[in-house]
Structures are given as structure tokens and as C-alpha cells.
Amino acid sequence: MSKRKLKVISGATAVKSRRVTAVGVEDAPDDRKHQRPSSSSLTPSATGDIGVIESITLKNFMCHHLLGPFQFGSNVNFIVGNNGSGKSAILTALIVGLGGKATVTNRGASLKDFVKTNENAADITIKLKNRGTDAYKRDVYGDCISIEHRIFSDGSRNCRLKSKSGQLISNKKEELTGILDHFNIQLDNPVSILNQEMSKQFLHSKSESDKYKFFMKATLLEQMRRDYVHIKLTKTVTRQQVERQEESLKDLKEEFLQKKERYEKLPSFSEIKVVLENLKKAMAWCLVKEKEQLVQQLKEDVENEANNYKHQENLQLCQTKVTQVEKKLQCIKSRVTSMKKEQESLSEDNLNLKEQVKAISKAHKEQELVYFRALNKLKQSEQEQNLLEEKIKKAKTSASLNNEEDTEYSAQQKKISSLKEQLAELEKNCSQLNEEIKNKHQALYKGKEERDKLRLEERNIQVLYESKLRRKNQVLASRSNKLKRFGDHVPDLLGAITQAYATGRFIKRPVGPIGACISLKDPMLAVAVECCLRSFMKAFCCDNYKDEAVLQEMMSQYYPRGNRPQIIVSPFSEKVYNIHGRKAHNQEYPSVLDIITASSPVIINCLIDMRGIESILIIKEKEKARRVMQQGRPPKNCREAFTVEGDQVYPNRYYTSDISMAKYLGGDLESEISMLESDLENHQAQLSRFQLHVTSVTEDIVRMESELNSTIMTLKKTLVSVNQVKATITELENAGEEHIDDVSSLEEVAQENRQKIEAENQTVHEAKTELDNHQKTAEDIESKYSSVRHRIDQLSDDTEPLMDEQLKLEAECAKHKRTLKILENKLKAHEDNIQAMRSDLAQREEELQEYEAKATEISPERQQVTRSPKSIDTEITRLQKKLKVYESNHGEHEQVVREYAEALTLFKEKTNQVRDLRRFIDRLDSIMSDRQSRYKTMRRSLSVRCKLYFNNFLIKMNCCGSMIFDHNNETLSISVTPPGREDNGASDMRSLSGGERSFSTVCFMLSLWEITESPFRCLDEFDVYMDMHNRRISLDLLLELSERQHLRQFIFVTPLTTSHLPKTNLIKIHQLQDPEGDRSEAMDDDV
């Protein structure tokens, strides 16, 4: 109820009065008469269908994992169960689930005590009926309001209010409080929920004042009394404020009279004001005229700026150049790509052809051996044939020589054995010669490779020598003219530029070369700066594209196309760019911008635009450069760095310089010349040494080729000797057989030999044809190989100028893109300027309209003013000073009038306010007096009705008793006389037995139920100390009351049996299961 005290007192009083007066003020004369007021005073739709508990569900609450859901009946509900089954937990959850505090339950000091051990949260779900005409927001919640409470182990909780369909409506506590107020549910009122602790406290209380407080709290009279006390206190404070305001009203009246007297005596000075007013009108229109002139001037400026298309034309021209350069670059890239692809393809073909040449050469040599072998075999067969023919002739003509032939045969056999030994020696020599030829072939191949490498190195040194020689000539020429460092034609080109500028061909004279226009603060850093600027050292700067075209035309007379210095187009400025926010910041290491000086700001600005020299640091030592750029976060705005040797250092990579000496910025010409001469001598010595080496290697190759050829010839001669020895052996073997062969057999052999010769002739012809084919194939492959090698060399020579041109075009494209970006920024700045001017114009026009509106307010008709604003302002100032002097003597007219009006208004307001407060206090006194009398009447009525109902209920047990209310001393004494003790007189409740006290408590609670209203009533273990007789009587009284109040809901908690209760639809019994420990013991007993 403490939350509801925060409402407005009048509203709270009205609510409380409605709750109490709904019962009725008249006394109940007897049992039959007092049954009707509580049941018929409210309609069923207003009482029986709102605020009644439909169901409750508990999860992880106290020591229970899950209880419910319990579907309660609309009239009488008994919750039955043994100790520890959760009966009292249901009533405790009902209080907590409806938003009650933990202390109200008397079961815990904090909400976290209600969360089951080892669980994080406990859930309570309560559903209340919401039907009938008095339903709470029925269109939102429907026929049922679901209240879901979650209590966390840390003591916090949240509430969710849902409709019947389960839709979340609200989670605010104020909404729950409004629902409880609408349903007249009072959680801390024992009439609604009486738990064990409250009942024991009442039964064992020794103080009569505590009982009186219990009665007052149950009937809400205590709340009404506190409201009355608060209203009286507020009335006292208000009366004191009224008295203070009456005192201040006297002073206010006196002040009002003084100002009234000043107002009545105030003289008139309207003439000065009229003149001043006219001057103000003139001043207003004069300012309007001045603003109109300013707006007209702004319009002309905006129109001029809008018609200036110079920036768009420059941007379009630059875009065209970028497109042209990109097209050229794309064309060159495609050509380079196609050449590279062709070169890669040719390289693969070259390798394949090289392998084919080797394979075909090997096959040709093998086929050559096959051919010679077949040829030798053919010659051998022909010799054998000749021998056979001679034998046949001899066999035919000589028959007498047989004896001599026998002797000759033995000599031939000896000669054959010696020839076979000679043949073995010759074959061994052939094997050695073949191995020697193979080794000499390998040595010859290595010698040719070494010669090719030496010639390549010799050519590279020759190119380097020529480059150094040209550099030496440039340096020698720069003794008389430093510009020749940048090229032999630079002095002539600069002279032509000067002459062309004098004749007016250039709008602004081009500046360059850049390297000739800068100098170093530290000459030791020349190599680093040249490595940084690279091709920009020889570049020229032009102010516009027209000058660039003229300069390109002039350069074409001195330089071939593709080898001209770069031209940078950027508008010239007399001031160096402000690079405060872009410059690399490092106190220890300078930037390139810090170490160079230029003869013109144009050079610095050009290098800032094209190379970003303000963001490049110079760090002399390599280790420090790596540490600064790569071992941590680089300095702010730093993109890269250079070492004193010219090495380029990025945050994620490192490039070593290929420049060892400064070409353009070096100051000591003699030392450079001597160094170049030394390098030239070294290169000359290297060339001589390489030439001697190449000559020596060439001589070795010639010698090895001659030795190889002689070895091959020796091998061929040895093969011929082998064939001859084989033929001789064969001839001797055949001759040895002649003496046993007759002519016929010799002729047969000769015939076979002729056939063999024909076959060998065919084999020789085929081998010759195959050899010719191999020869032709080898020549074709060698020709293809030579053409591929030639094409590869040609592609390499063609790719180099294209790559150079691609690099130049990429630099030119980057330059044009940077110029395009600058022009875009300028165009954007131009457009922003126009937009700003238009905004300023619009603002000025708005100001003009405001001035015109103000001038129209001051003077509706436009006045023609010839005077200047300054003269009018001077006149106004003079009149105002005159007016101030006048007002200092008589007071300001408007101020006096205003103060008088304010004082009059304030005096009337305060007077009316005091009068209204007086009337309110008087009215409040009469109302409070009437309310006080009504409060006493109601208190007396409720006391009398409570006595009558209490006595009626005691009579059911044949007892008698009394209740004595002392409202002045705020005490309540209750005495009960049990049956059979009438002679002893009435006795205090403390002298009664436990059952008698419990019955008396039930009677007292029933008396309070009869005189109060609530949608539901809960009673916890009311019969725990009663015997069966008292319990039966108490139950009869409760059921009788519930039958009379069948539109109210009753929830009774008891641990005892309810088997003797009547079977009716109005009574619903909820039997709780025993705790787990008790169930297990019961099962053990059964076993």
C-alpha cells in the first residue's frame, strides 16, 4: 500500500472511501440479514469475473523444482499436503508474483532467498480473470491477464504482463500497480492473504493496541486516517502561506499606489517621439535601399563567375590528353604483352628445336654408321664373289694342283689366325676411338658455351664502356657549361626557349631542367636526391598546355621521338604550397624538401605535385632507415625514405640503388672525370682481357675440332682396316675350302652370293636414302632453330624501346592524372565558390526581405530617402540623447506606463489569489469536518458489525465472547468463553488452547471478511491446532460463508485430510505430492 500513497491525496481518499462504502454502513441485525449485503451489493460481472486467480505455476521457487500449474476454481479451493510439499510456498509465490516485497511474506529477508539452491532464477506465473464490464483494458488484455515474474539469484527481478493470447503488453511496475488497484487486491492486507506467521503473531500478541492496529489495517481505516492527517498538515502549511501573502500584499498595495501617483503626474513628450518615429521609418527604408544595391552587385558577380568556363575547358582538354595517353599506353602494353607471349612461345620452341637438333644429329650419325657398315658389307660380298669366280675358274682349269693346295691350305690357316688377332686389336682401337670422339664432342660443346658467355660479358662491358665514355665527354663539356651534364643539346634547347619566349611564342617561360634549378644544402646527399628524383632531374615545367605544345615542337628538333625530356604542366605560382598538414614529421631526419633549395617556387611546387618530396625522408644509415621505416610505425605522413647510398626504403620492402655517383648534382668535376677515366681504363683492361680469353677459347675450339676430325678420320680408316681384315679372313677361309669343294658347289655358292649382293645393294640404297632424309631433316631443323634464335633476338631488341616508351607514357599518364586531379579540385573550388556566392546572395536576399518586412512594419508605405544612413543615425542619436535627458528628469514614459500596468496586474492577481486561498481553506475545513464525522461513523459501524459477526460465529461452537473497541486509546480487547467455563467468566485468548485460539482466529477473520471486500481470500493452515470437532465447525463456517459469497474466491491451506467435505462443483481440492525424501521413505516401508 505504500506505493499507492504517492498518488494525489484527494484521489486516494476518494478511492479508499469507495472501497469501504461499497460494503454499506448499516449494521447486520442477525445471521440472515447480514448474508445479503456482501453478496448482493455488487453485480456478478463486477465481482466474480475480475481479479480472481485462474492459475499459478512455480519453477525453482524456494526448495521446489516445479509446482503447478494449479487451476483454481472460482469459489472454494483447498490446498492439501504434508509439511514441505509446497503449500505455504504457493501463498508466498502469490504475494511475490503480484509484486509484493519479501518482507511481506515473513518467509525471507530478500528476494534471492526464494531462488532454489544452485539455480540462477525462479519463475512465477499467475493468471487473473478479466471479464465483465469492469474488466481492466479488456481490448488489450482480453479475458485473462498473465503476470510472469522472474527472480534472479542476485535479488533482482523483472515482470512481464501478457494478454490471453500470450502477447507481451508491458513490463513496467506501474502497470501492475494499476491492475492491483483496479481489482482491489491488497497484498499486505491480512484480509486478503493471512499466512502462518501473521496468524501466530495475532494469536500470541499480548498487546491490545496491536490487535486494534490489525483491525484498522484490515478495514483500511488506518490508511484513511493517515490520509486525513496528511491533508490537515497540508492545510496548516497552506494557511501559513496565505498569512505571509497577506503581509506582502500590504507592501504591494503601497508600491502600487506610488506608481499610480507617478503615472498620473507623468508629462507628455509626444512631439519628440513623433519626429524620432519618422526618422526610424526613414532609417529602415534607407537600410533597405543599401541592401538592394549590395544584392544587385552580388547578382552581377555570380553571373560573371557562372559564365567563366575556363576551368571546364582546361579539365576537358586534360581529360582528352589522359584518354589519348591511356590509349597509346594500352596499345604499347598490348604490343609488349604480345611480344612477351611470342618470346615465351619462341623460347619453348627454341628449347624443343634444340633438343630436336641434338636428337637428329645423333640419329644422323647413327644412320651414317649404318650406311658405311652396309657399304663395307657390300664391298666385302663383292670381293667374295670375285674370289668365288676365280676359284671356279681355277677349279675348272686346274686339277693337278691339289697337292700343292694342301700345303697352301695349312699356310692359309696360320695366316687366318694371325688376321683374327689383328682384327681383335683393330676392334679394340675402334672402341677407344669412339669413346675419345664422345669426350671431345663434350669438351667442344663446353668450349662453345664458354665462348658465348665471354662474348656476352664482353658486349655488356663494351656497352658500359661506351656509356662511361659518353658521360666523360659530357662532364668534360660541362667544364665550360654545366648544362651539358643534362645532355649535349640542353644549352641549344635553352637558347631556343629564350629566343621563342622573347618573340612571344610562350605565355610563360618554361623552367628547366629541374636538376639545373636546384642545389643541395648538404652535397653528401647528392646520390640520394638523384635516386629520389630520377627522370625528373631532366624534366621541364610549363604553365599551360599551349606552352607544352610549343616546347614539344622545339624538342623534336634536338631529340628523337621517345627519348625527349619529360614536360610537367602545372600552373605557375609565386608562393610555395602550404604543406603543413602533409609534410613528414621527424625531428631527427630531414625530408627531401628540407635539403634542397630552388631558384623558383615553381620547381618546389612541381616536385611536391609530381614526386611528393615533402613526404620522403633522407636517412643516411641503412640500419637506421630499416629501423625507422620497417620495425615500427613509420613517421607521420612519411611514404618512403632514401639512404645516402640511394637505397629506397618502404615500410614493407627495400630496393638497392644502382647509382654509385651523382651525375647531375655532383660538385667536384675533376674527381668525377678521374673516376670515369679510371673506370674506362678498367673497362678497357677488362675488354682486352676478355678478347684474349675469347681468342684463346676460340683457338682451343678450333684445335679440338681438328683433333675431333682427325680422330673421326682415324676411326674411319680403322673401320676400313677392320673390314679389309674381315674380308681377307673370309677369303682365306673360303680358299681353304676350295680344295674340298667341286665346281658345282662353288657355282651354287656364287649364285647365293649374287643374291646376297643384290640384297645388300638394296640395303645400301635404302640406308643412303635414309641418310639423305636425315641430312635434309637436320638441315631443316637447324634452319628453323637459327630463325627462332634470330626472332628471339629481334624481339628482345624490339621490346626494349617499347618498354622505355611504356615507362615514359606511364609517367606522362600519371602526370596528366595528377594535373587532372588538380584541375578537378580547381573546378570544384570554382563551383563551390559559385555555390557559396549564391548562398550568400540568397542570405542577402533573405536579409533584404527581412529588412523590407521590418521596414513595412515600421512604415507600410515606402519612403523615398535621399539622406545617407549615417546622417539619419546621427540625427536619431541626437534626439534619443535629448529624450534621455528629458526622461531622466521626468522618467521614461513607456517604463512608467509599463510599471504602473504591471503593478496593477500584480496587485489584482495577489488579491484574487489570497481571496481564493481563503475560500479554499474555509471550504476544506467544512469538508474535513464532514469527512471526519463520516469516518468516525464508519469506524463505529464497522466495529459494531465486526462484534456481531464475531459473536455469531462463536455461537456455532457454543461459545460466547466479546470484543471491546476503545477508539480513543486505540485498543481492542477480545475475550472468549469456551463451553463449560461460563462460571469462570470471559478469559483472554492467551489462556485458550491451541485449537480454541485457532477457531477464535477463524471467527475473527470471518468477521473481517464479512465487512471488507477483496476478489480472493487466502488462509494458511487455519486448522493446524484444532481438534476434529473445532475443525469441522470451522470448515462449516467457511463453506457457509463461501456459499453466501459465491462470487468470491477462497483459498484454504491445510495439512489435514479433506475427505469429509461435501462433493460439490463449488469446492476444488488440490492435493500436493509429498517431498522426495518422504516418498522414498514410504516406498522403503512398503518394501
Which band of pLDDT confidence, cut at 50, 70 and 90, is reported for residue 13?
A: very low
Which of 579-593, 842-856, 1053-1067 is the most confident on average?
A: 579-593
Share of the chain above pLDDT 70, in %: 84
Spatial separation of the C-alpha atoms in residues 1015 and 53, rounded to whole Å: 9
- b/e 904-937 (16+ beta carbons within 10 angstroms → b): eeebeebeeebeebeeeeeebeeeeeebeeebee
Spatial separation of the C-alpha atoms in residues 277 and 423, rounded to whole Å: 150
Q: Which of 376-385, 541-550, 892-901, 1065-1074 has the lowest mean pLDDT?
A: 892-901
Q: 3-state SS string over 372-392?
A: HHHHHHHHHHHHHHHHHHHHH
Spatial separation of the C-alpha atoms in residues 1040 and 1062, rounded to whole Å: 12
Name every residue whose Cβ is closer than 8 Å to that of residue 609 and which is 6 or more positions away in sequence. 568, 570, 818, 822
Spatial separation of the C-alpha atoms in residues 373 and 378, rounded to whole Å: 9
Please give the pLDDT value at position 122.
92
- Beta bridge partners, 875, equal none
Please compute the mean of the pLDDT values over residues 93-113 and round it to a whole number: 81
DSSP secondary structure letters along 591-650: BHHHHEEESSHHHHHHHHHHT-GGGEEE-SSHHHHHHHHHSSPPPTT--EEE-TT--EE-
Q: Which of 63-72, 476-485, 587-596, 618-627 has the lowest mean pLDDT?
A: 476-485
Q: Examine the pLDDT at 852 and tell me if it is beyond 80.
A: no
Mean pLDDT estimate for the chain: 78
- b/e 594-622 (16+ beta carbons within 10 angstroms → b): bbbebebebbbbbbbbbbbbbbbbbbeee
Spatial separation of the C-alpha atoms in residues 836 and 222, rounded to whole Å: 75
CA dihedral 322→325→328→329, nearest 10 degrees, is: -90
Please give the pLDDT value at position 125.
93
**More reliable by pLDDT, 923 or 35:** 923
Q: At 575, list the grid cell.
A: 608562393
3-state secondary structure of 1059: coil
Q: 3-state SS string over 478-518?
A: CCCCHHHHHCCCHHHHHHHHHHHHHCCCCCCCCECCHHHHE
3-state secondary structure of 750: helix
Which of 264-268, 486-490, 1081-1085 is the most confident on average?
A: 486-490
Neighbours of 752 (CB within 10 A): 11
Name every residue whose Cβ is closer than 8 Å to that of residue 959 and which is 6 or more positions away in sequence. 976, 977, 978, 979
Global pTM value:
0.39
Q: Examine the pLDDT at 510 and tell me if it is beyond 90.
A: yes
Please give the pLDDT value at position 5.
38
Please give the pLDDT value at position 39.
34
Which band of pLDDT confidence, cut at 50, 70 and 90, is reported for residue 273?
A: low
Name every residue whose Cβ is closer than 8 Å to that of residue 197 and which is 6 or more positions away in sequence. 106, 107
Please give the pLDDT value at position 530.
86
**More reliable by pLDDT, 773 or 804:** 773
Q: Which of 523, 534, 712, 512 is nearest to 602 (CA)?
A: 512
> Packing angle between helix 490-502 and helix 545-555, nearest 10 degrees?
130
Please give the pLDDT value at position 81.
84
Q: 3-state SS string over 166-200?
A: CCEEECCHHHHHHHHHHHCCCCCCCCCEECHHHHH
List, in sequence order, the alpha helices (H) in 147-269: 173-183, 196-203, 208-218, 221-265
Spatial separation of the C-alpha atoms in residues 1056 and 1051, rounded to whole Å: 15
Which of 120-124, 758-762, 950-954, 1067-1071 is the most confident on average?
A: 120-124
Give the tens place of pLDDT for each residue, 727-757. Answer: 887 777 766 554 444 566 767 777 777 787 8
Q: Which of 280, 360, 31, 352 is nearest to 875 (CA)?
A: 280
Give the tens place of pLDDT for each residue, 925-982. Answer: 888 888 888 888 888 888 888 888 888 877 776 777 778 888 888 888 877 777 766 5
Please give the pLDDT value at position 322.
85
Q: At 47, list the grid cell.
A: 465481482
DSSP secondary structure letters along 887-899: HHHH--HHHHHHH
Q: Examine the pLDDT at 1086 and tell me if it is beyond 70.
A: no
Q: Which of 106, 115, 167 is nearest to 140 (CA)?
A: 167
Which band of pLDDT confidence, cut at 50, 70 and 90, is reported for residue 1059?
A: confident
Neighbours of 1001 (CB within 10 A): 22
Please give the pLDDT value at position 155.
84
Q: Examine the pLDDT at 1080 and tell me if it is beyond 60.
A: no
Name every residue whose Cβ is closer than 8 Å to that of residue 115 and which is 6 or more positions away in sequence. 60, 61, 121, 122, 151, 152, 153
Strand-pair category, 540-542 with 567-569: parallel
Which of 99-108, 408-417, 818-827, 1077-1086 is the most confident on average?
A: 818-827
Share of the chain above pLDDT 90, in %: 5
Q: Examine the pLDDT at 605 and tell me if it is beyond 80.
A: yes
Give the tens place of pLDDT for each residue, 129-157. Answer: 888 888 888 888 888 999 998 999 888 88
Q: Which of 365, 435, 423 is nearest to 718 (CA)?
A: 423
Backbone angles phi, psi at 229, to 5 degrees: -65, -40
Element at 827 (helix H, strand E): helix 743-858
Please compute the mean of the pLDDT values over residues 661-666 and round it to a whole number: 76
Give the tens place of pLDDT for each residue, 284-323. Answer: 778 777 788 888 888 888 888 888 778 788 888 888 888 8
Q: Examine the pLDDT at 11 and tell me if it is beyond 50.
A: no
Which of 43-57, 116-130, 726-740, 789-803 is the most confident on average?
A: 116-130
Give the tens place of pLDDT for each residue, 807-828. Answer: 788 888 888 888 888 888 888 8
Q: Which of 529, 609, 523 is nearest to 572 (CA)?
A: 609
Q: Which of 209-218, 367-376, 679-688, 1026-1035 has the lowest mean pLDDT?
A: 1026-1035
DSSP secondary structure letters along 409-468: HHHHHHHHHHHHHHHHHHHHHHHHHHHHHHHHHHHHHHHHHHHHHHHHHHHHHHHHHHHH
**More reliable by pLDDT, 575 or 1033:** 575
Q: At 1084, list the grid cell.
A: 522403503
Q: At 187, list the grid cell.
A: 497484498
Q: Which of 265-269, 857-861, 929-933, 1066-1070 has the lowest mean pLDDT?
A: 265-269
**More reliable by pLDDT, 406 or 517:** 517
Which band of pLDDT confidence, cut at 50, 70 and 90, is reported for residue 206?
A: low
Q: Examine the pLDDT at 388 and tell me if it is beyond 60.
A: yes
- Residue 234 has, within 13 A of its CA and on its CB side, a CA count of 15
Please give the pLDDT value at position 2.
40
Please compute the mean of the pLDDT values over residues 1012-1023 and round it to a whole number: 77
- b/e 571-580 (16+ beta carbons within 10 angstroms → b): ebeeeeeebe
Q: Which of 727, 737, 729, 738 is nearest to 391 (CA)?
A: 738
